[in-house]
Chain A
């Protein structure tokens, strides 16, 4: 327990250590810590902003989706209506076309029939005339008559 020169030796080394700490230890470390603090604060800030942005984007996306769905439904509705109308119209057209064709066919058939009738009539008349001519001009022969009549009959 005796005080001696050690006292001053200790004080001097203390002073040197404090000086060194003040010069080379404290400033760089605290500066780095502050820089990191700032970086972390900025990072947190950015993260918060990004989250907000994300939320907004999600809301927007949801809304767009909703709108799109509505539009799609509308378009589908319209399309089916149009399709129905087209089908209905086609049916109508087909029916009227059919009827028209039918009527035309009937008319044509009638015309044909009439024409055939006229032809037949003309031919029957000609045949009758020809038959009569043959009967009057040639000798009567039962057998020949029979043939003639049969001929006539097959031509009717």
Chain B
């Protein structure tokens, strides 16, 4: 493990990377230099592993309820699941006015998955990396949403859907026309419009991903900083910060979901 505070922080913020190293071939990176040398052709095993694990928990719980869903008196888990679904359905109905069978399940997936990934932050920062260290794994960072790859992966999916539905609803011509002739409906301003609109379009996934990443990363850093303090000070700061995250974690999941629905709603709106 690390010795100086800087090394400790760096260690906790480094993912476990498996990639193609120019010298070692496909292998786990043992230090920062190797990570840098691997470049793009690498995978954050911890981010992917934990996010898929959380996604599977979500699917397991919800599909179990779905399998036994009936109109009788709901009990326990079914109540919880139905509450979440009702909540998501309400948000989607209020925000999204088109007819699209993908949007509501998409929103549900985002909300629950992001919530579960965020909630990994409640696990004390040293537990999992410490355990991994004992087993000889050099790095282990468990919160997938504190990794830009995780959040951009999500927003990239959303961005593809925005483009897909924009083209599907408005047609390729209609979509291009919308990009070229709004906000200023004059031929001389087409380049300016294009610049503005494409920038706006690209901002959507960027803001989605960076908002979630920024919040989770900053929270993580604060947890790590608190962990550096003497042990008798830690609970005083750690507990309020963790309690504060009862608000932050669902809120960020909710924001990601709502913005996704809003963006998709805008993609379905035809102004011409």
Contacts and interface: CB of A to CB of B under 8 A. Distances in A.
Interface of A: 1-11, 13-15, 17-18, 20-22, 24-33, 35-36, 38-39
A24 B64 CA distance: 10
26 contacts: A4-B19, A4-B43, A5-B43, A6-B48, A6-B147, A6-B150, A7-B152, A7-B156, A8-B153, A10-B48, A10-B152, A13-B153, A17-B58, A17-B59, A17-B113, A18-B157, A26-B104, A27-B66, A29-B65, A29-B66, A30-B89, A30-B104, A32-B69, A33-B85, A33-B86, A36-B72
A136 B12 CA distance: 183
Q: Which of A15, A24, A29 has the most CB of B within 10 A?
A: A29
Q: Which of A6, A28, A30 has the most CB of B within 10 A?
A: A6
A25 B153 contact: no
Given A10-B153, A17-B109, A5 B66 contact: no
Given A13-B55, A28-B69, A30-B85, A21 B108 contact: yes
A32 B89 CA distance: 14
A6 to B, nearest CB: 4
Q: Number of contact residues on B: which range applies?
A: 35 or more
A32 to B, nearest CB: 4
B42 interface: yes
B101 interface: yes
Contacts of B65: 29
B149 A4 contact: yes
Q: Which of B51, B66, B81 has the most CB of A within 10 A?
A: B66
A14 B154 contact: yes
Contact of A10 (B38, B109, B150): B150
B67 A28 contact: yes
Q: Main SS of chain A's interface residues?
A: helix
Nearest to B104: A26
A12 to B, nearest CB: 8
A10 B154 contact: yes
A4 B47 CA distance: 12
B102 interface: yes
Interface in B79-102: 81-82, 85-86, 89, 101-102
B53 to A, nearest CB: 10
B148 interface: yes
B19 A9 contact: no
A18 B40 contact: no
B268 interface: no
B2 interface: no
Contacts of A29: 62, 65-66, 69, 81-82, 85
